[in-house]
Amino acid sequence: MTEPRHQIVDSQGLAIHYLEWGEPFGTLLVLVHGFLDQAHSWKFFAAELEKRARQPVRIIAPDCRGHGDSDWVGAGGYYHFPDYLFDLDCVIQSLGVKQFHLIGHSMGGTIAFLYSGSFPERIDNLVLIEGVGPAGMDFSDAPPRMKNWITEVRERGRRHFREYTNIAAGAGQLQQTNPRLTPEQALDLARAGMKQNDKGKWIWKFDPLHRTAAPQPFYTAQAVEFFRRIQCPVLIVDGSESRQTRRTDKQERYDAIANQRRIAIDHAGHMVHQDNPVKLAEAVLAFLGV
């Protein structure tokens, strides 16, 4: 595959980094990664998209703020879904396009469906990979969650770093989390996702603030209103071996999507785009007609 091009977009003073593969004037696919992940995570999937597409494609994969090579929020700041949507919109505006295909994984799927519900006229097709949002909560969950957030930010904040002696140790952690990764894949992801601190130890690039519990509960009733506004066809993808596939609380969200189909990719867990990029690319390209 071609090596990605590195680009930076300004989002209210934060540098949002994104990777770009493919042809500058090809059909545009925007890929949004998941929680504690990075744009580079799409590498294997992007390679299959380029190889198998019947027409030139342009693939854009941003690092969400506080992830990968994008900036962290400043002192006193935090991370919320509206921030991620704003950053994504800054990337889209910089590309000067009116319509595009949007693909999101996990947390990136939530960002993608919220964006699609906010700007339904902009999205040609939407692909949600293990990404119809986290389990719903109740209003009664809000007070204890707020208390927990304040406690965790005060007591842990950005001090909760996991340090490694070398990149290979980080790669080993990735394989422990996802045993389907080959040693080569894990090492490649660790090289892109780690940096050295001032003590010479290796740490992940994401902001440790992400490890604190967010203050805002996720409400299914609110998510449903975004799903109802989506006008484009939606492909919902699960990994056949993922725990997310067995969730029983997603039907209400499915029912709110006017035009959707659901598939499961074999030999894949939650990280479908890493576990089986070939089958995922085939399914996505067939759905997009690209």
Summarised one tens digit per residue, pLDDT across range 83-111 is 999 999 999 999 999 999 999 999 999 99
pLDDT value, residue 159: 87
Inter-CA distances, 229 with 221, 263, 278, Å: 13, 22, 31
Closest by alpha carbon to 272, among 243, 229, 232, 233? 243
Summarised one tens digit per residue, pLDDT across range 20-54 is 999 999 999 999 999 999 999 999 999 999 999 99
Token pair 């990979």: residue: 129
For residues 258-278, give the mean pLDDT. Answer: 97
Token pair 């490694």: residue: 164
Alpha helix ranges (H) inside the chain: 43-52, 81-95, 107-118, 142-155, 167-177, 183-193, 220-229, 251-255, 272-275, 277-288
CA gap 137, 219 in Å, rounded: 5
Phi/psi at 112 (nearest 5 deg)?
A: -65, -45
* pLDDT of 246 over the 80 cut: no
Alpha helix ranges (H) inside 178-250: 183-193, 220-229
* pLDDT of 2 over the 90 cut: no
Phi/psi at 104 (nearest 5 deg)?
A: -135, 145
Q: Is 3 helix (H, G, I), strand (E, B) or coil?
A: coil
pLDDT value, residue 13: 97
Residue 169: both structure tokens together: 């140790």
> How do beta strands 202-204 and 194-196 pair?
antiparallel
pLDDT value, residue 237: 98
Closest by alpha carbon to 111, among 149, 75, 153, 65? 65
Give the domain ranges of the chain.
Answer: 5-136+219-288
Q: Across the chain, what does the average pLDDT equal?
A: 96
> How do beta strands 57-62 and 27-32 pair?
parallel
Summarised one tens digit per residue, pLDDT across range 151-181 is 999 999 998 889 999 999 999 999 999 999 9
pLDDT value, residue 245: 73
Residue 207: both structure tokens together: 């902001």
Read off the pLDDT band of 1 (50, 70, 90). Answer: low
pLDDT value, residue 142: 98
Phi/psi at 75 (nearest 5 deg)?
A: -55, 135
CATH topology (fold) of 5-136+219-288:
Rossmann fold (3.40.50)
| Beta-bridge partners for 239 | 265
CA gap 87, 92 in Å, rounded: 9
For residues 8-14, give the mean pLDDT. Answer: 98
Residue 113: both structure tokens together: 């469906």
Summarised one tens digit per residue, pLDDT across range 189-235 is 999 999 999 999 999 999 999 999 999 999 999 999 999 999 999 99
Inter-CA distances, 121 with 99, 224, 255, 256, Å: 8, 18, 21, 18
pLDDT value, residue 257: 98
pLDDT value, residue 284: 98
Read off the pLDDT band of 59 (50, 70, 90). Answer: very high
Residue 48: both structure tokens together: 């299959």
pLDDT value, residue 160: 80
Read off the pLDDT band of 255 (50, 70, 90). Answer: very high
The residues, any chain, with a CB within 8 Å of residue 200's CB and separated by 6 or more, are none
Q: What is the DSSP letter of 156?
A: T
